[in-house]
Amino acid sequence: MVSTSFRSLAEAMLRGPLPLVTDNFDTFLAKRSDLSKFYRLWQQSSLNGSLTDEKLLTAFIPSDDAFSNNEFKKLVGNRKLTDIFVRRYLVDEPLCEFDIRRSPGEIRIQTYANLNGEALRPTSTDGDTYIDGARVEDSEIMLSNGVAYVLDATIAKNYISTQPGNDRRRPTNVLNIIP
């Protein structure tokens, strides 16, 4: 046990000191021009004022390029859809890269519940990490109230549904499968 602790300490020292973290989600989003659409939705949602530095969470933030113009207009015009959308990208615990990235050859099926109660499933392919099909472009951005990951796509298209996988799966009758 001592050797494991010493090895962990030695590895941490080799990487250098921990970076000084001063930004929270709000200031981080305000500084990043490539995340302005999500920031606007964040500000319009009911969650904006309720997130403090006391509660750590993880945000999977789609970049501006992930949104179509019609999709964004639909969200901006409807507060309920905006809330559902923003909650879809937040997990009520801080997740480091180790939690969402698996090593080659490792078999791990892990899901994390977002604030809507939907399951988000991280996967890894060819060195890239995906969250429900959206590739992680920028990972493990440490903030004072959690961790941020920037995605290249939106996670789900059906903003009305709040049930896990509702928009990705269709019910199949077992009798239809058997010839």
- Is 13 domain-assigned? no
- Is 134 domain-assigned? yes
> What is the crossing angle of helices 69-76 and 36-44, to 10°?
20
What is the model's pLDDT at position 120? 92
* Range(s) of the domain holding residue 100: 18-163
What is the model's pLDDT at position 59? 95
The structural domain count of the chain equals: 1
What is the model's pLDDT at position 2? 44
* Tens-digit pLDDT profile for residues 130-162: 999 899 999 899 998 899 999 999 986 554 444
- Is 169 domain-assigned? no
- Is 10 domain-assigned? no
What is the model's pLDDT at position 6? 47
List the chain residues with pLDDT less than 50: 1-6, 9, 159-179
- Is 7 domain-assigned? no
- Is 168 domain-assigned? no
Measured between alpha carbons, how far is 21 from 147 in angstroms, rounded to an integer?
A: 11
What is the model's pLDDT at position 127? 84
- Is 175 domain-assigned? no
- Is 122 domain-assigned? yes
What is the model's pLDDT at position 44? 92
3-state secondary structure the chain: CHHHHHHHHHHHHHHCCCCCCCCCHHHHHHHCHHHHHHHHHHHHCCCCCCCCCCCCEEEEEECHHHCCHHHHHHHHCCHHHHHHHHHHCEECCCCCHHHHCCCCCCCCCCCEEECCCCEECEEEECCEEEECCEEEEEEEEEECCEEEEEECCCCCCCCCCCCCCCCCCCCCCHHHHCC
The enclosing domain of 91 has a CATH number of 2.30.180.10
* Tens-digit pLDDT profile for residues 41-50: 999 998 876 6
